[in-house]
């Protein structure tokens, strides 16, 4: 392996295909990750509330959903949603991006629900009992006492989930929806180069996730200083 040749090829590919990697690929990857985390957080919160519900059927449905999603590979889920959804919902026929996004949302929602549930349960139950003894309703106790404290436990984990989703979107390249790995495969097919496109996309993923992890760490430190004060 000639590392000098690889380096020269990477420079040439970067100049020629930077728009595919930095504009098209990165745009698809970030939009897919953003949609997955935002919509997944909403569904995850609903699943978490159902799992903490005192109504057994709701609790059972939420538990079964969470265990099935967490117990099966994401790639398998992508295949199932990609091929099954258009048959169940004709509107989604030939809408590959939307099918993949729905699959990622459903997967993320299961993990986010556990993050939210653990964040709520981490709040001292004595505060709930004190609020109820003062005459506050269960809804008011949750919105005014429990959730504001749980958010501090939830936000760092949600940030980590966002970083994980960015990396997991690489599986979507199986269906060629335009993400970073899809662009890598297209450049590989056009240039007959294997190592160079992989190194380029690896650098983009690393810079993106490393930058987001550092930003997340900054906010975590700010939150800890707020607790100390």
In this predicted model, what pLDDT tens digit does every residue of 182-221 receive, in sequence order?
988 888 888 888 899 999 899 999 999 999 888 888 877 8
pLDDT confidence of residue 44: 92
Q: Which residue has the higher pLDDT, 15 or 2?
A: 15
Give per-residue pLDDT as tens, 150-168. 777 788 888 888 899 999 9
Query: Is-above-0.95 flag for pTM?
Result: no
Task: Give the residue with greater pLDDT, 138 vs 116.
Answer: 116
The percentage of residues in the chain with a pLDDT greater than 70, rounded to a whole number, is 97
Matching residue, tokens 């556990």: 114
What are the backbone angles phi and psi of residue 176, rounded to the nearest 5°?
50, 65
Q: What is the mean pLDDT of the chain?
A: 86
Q: What are the structural domains of the chain?
A: 3-228 (1.10.3720.10)
- The mean-pLDDT minimum among 78-82, 143-147, 154-158, 170-174 falls in 143-147
Contact 79, 14 (CB under 8 A): no
User: In this structure, what DSSP letter does residue 177 have?
Assistant: -
Question: In the chain, what percentage of residues exceed pLDDT 90?
Answer: 34
DSSP state of 157: H
pLDDT at 226: 57
Do 169 and 104 meet the contact criterion of CB atoms below 8 Å apart? yes
């Amino acid at each position: 392996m000639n590392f000098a040749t690889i380096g020269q090829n990477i420079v040439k590919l970067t100049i020629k295909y930077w728009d595919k990697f930095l504009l098209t690929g990165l745009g698809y990857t970030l939009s897919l990750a953003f949609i997955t985390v935002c919509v997944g957080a909403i569904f995850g919160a609903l699943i978490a509330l159902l799992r903490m519900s005192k109504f057994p059927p709701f609790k059972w449905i939420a538990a079964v959903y969470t265990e099935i999603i967490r117990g099966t590979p994401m790639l398998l889920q992508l295949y199932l949603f990609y091929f099954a959804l258009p048959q169940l919902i004709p509107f989604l026929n030939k809408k590959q991006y939307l099918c993949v996004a729905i699959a990622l949302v459903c997967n993320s929602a299961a993990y986010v629900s556990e993050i939210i549930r653990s964040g709520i349960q981490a709040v001292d139950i004595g505060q709930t009992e004190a609020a109820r003894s003062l005459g506050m309703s269960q809804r008011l106790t949750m919105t005014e006492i429990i959730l504001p404290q749980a958010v501090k436990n939830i936000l760092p984990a949600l940030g980590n989930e966002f970083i994980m989703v960015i990396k997991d979107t690489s599986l979507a390249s199986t269906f060629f929806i335009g993400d970073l790995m899809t662009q890598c495969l297209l450049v590989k097919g056009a240039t007959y180069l294997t190592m160079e496109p992989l190194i380029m996309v690896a650098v983009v993923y690393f810079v993106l996730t490393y930058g987001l992890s550092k930003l997340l760490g900054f906010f975590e430190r700010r939150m800890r200083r707020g607790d100390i004060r």
